[in-house]
Amino acid sequence: MYMKIPNESKYIYTLVKTAECYAQDAEKNFNLGNGAKLISSSLFESAIHAYRKIPKKFREEHSIDQKISMLRYKLNEAGRHTLDEMGTIRTPLEGADEVLAASRCHVSDKISEFEALVYFSGVCNIPDYASLKQTEKENMSQYFLSSLFGSTQYSSDGRVVAKTPSVGFSDDQDSVDVALDDKMVRSFSHEVGLNVQLSIIPALQQILSEHTFSKNFVFEMCDFSPLVPKSNVNLVANAIWLGFELDFSTAIHLIAPQIENIVREQLKKHGAHTTNIDKNGIEHENGLSTLLDMQEAVAVFGQDKLFELKALFANSIGPNLRNEVAHGLLTDSAAYSASPVYAWWMLLRMVIHSIIVSSEESNEADN
């Protein structure tokens, strides 16, 4: 209103008072007790956005930067309390015993360690991108009310790390696409937990009861794989061997960077430029998220495996393992969750399949 007339001081005063109202409401809700922290978190965020609308030349006069700093601290506090207020709903899973038995049977009584690992690499399916996308599209149409509301993703320390927009009656295709992608990642993350619990761990336990995997065996397997760069064989082999020792929390700190390196090397083999040059002419390697977004990535990995890599390592809605590991944000609970186990199985699967494909190509060449 005040911007329509030449009265800048009243306009700034209005902006300040608006932000203060948000901040006061946030503080009030924060102090109400259990159940109100989520509301206060949203209001603290609104207050911060309102203060940021104030032009820089007026910020010192109204101590805006100090107020924003304090609000960010309170936002983090509200976020931590919000996590404490969230509960977990558990429902019994029908047919779990049958899946467990089938997983063990799938890998049992194999002649050699490598044969057992070949069967183990297929103990559960990789995500079918097209099918998953179609399913989530249908769910958005069938359960329309769920699309009327957005959602917020919190990190383990209460930070807001991602937001899914509400769709509702909007014709904004970008919002629809973002919401659909987020639902696909959430669905995949749920499947990861089930696959680890019902297939990967039971099958691994069965294999370990029948076979012993030495470091030397794992090293030779990785050395034979055309997927593993020769310069990193020891690192990849150690990552895989730790899984056979059931030390997935340590293994993931090797797996995440080695997956990124494998992705980079595969893209380079297909002619992709995996670096960027800054204004000083210094060449920097791109991170995993950038690599997976390159147009060559679909051709190199296929849509299904590309989605799997993104959802597991490079999406804040999912486990986001690359970022969590690289920045030291991976907590004890996350390190001992299903995601590192699945990441280990995925790396092992990639190595096994690369050996199989290489052997088949050699046989065809000989014939």
Domain extent listing, the chain: 2-85, 96-366
Flag whether pLDDT at 16 surpasses 60: yes
Structure tokens of 207?
Answer: 């294999």
343 or 142, which is more confident? 343
In this structure, of 114-128, 131-145, 264-278, 289-303, the range with the lowest mean pLDDT score is 131-145
For range 156-171, the mean pLDDT: 52
For range 268-297, the mean pLDDT: 92
pLDDT confidence of 274, banded at 50, 70, 90?
very high
For range 284-308, the mean pLDDT: 95
316 or 196, which is more confident? 196
pLDDT confidence of 3, banded at 50, 70, 90?
very low
pLDDT at 345: 97
pLDDT at 33: 61
According to the 3-state scheme, what is the secondary structure of the chain? CHHHCCCHHHHHHHHHHHHHHHHHHHHHHHCCCCCCHHHHHHHHHHHHHHHHCCCHHHCCCCCHHHHHHHHHHHHHHHHHHHHHHCCCCCCCCCCHHHHHHHHHHHHCCCCCHHHHHHHHCCCCCCCCHHHHHHHHHHHHHHCHHHHCCCEEEECCCCCEEEEECCCCCCCCHHHHHHHHHHHHHHHHHHHHHHHHHHHHHHHHHHHHHHCCCCHHHHHHHHHHCCCCCHHHHHHHHHHHHHHHCCCHHHHHHHHHHHHHHHHHHHHHHCCCCCEEECCCCCEEECCHHHHHCCCHHHHHHHHHHHHHHHHHHCCCCCCCHHHHHHCCCCCHHHHCCHHHHHHHHHHHHHHHHHHHHHHHHHHHHHC
pLDDT at 1: 44
pLDDT at 297: 96
The per-residue pLDDT of the chain, averaged, comes to 82
pLDDT confidence of 136, banded at 50, 70, 90?
confident
Cα gap 195→308, rounded to integer Å: 13
Q: What is the pTM of this model?
A: 0.73
Flag whether pLDDT at 42 surpasses 70: no
Flag whether pLDDT at 362 surpasses 90: no
Structure tokens of 125?
Answer: 């399916």
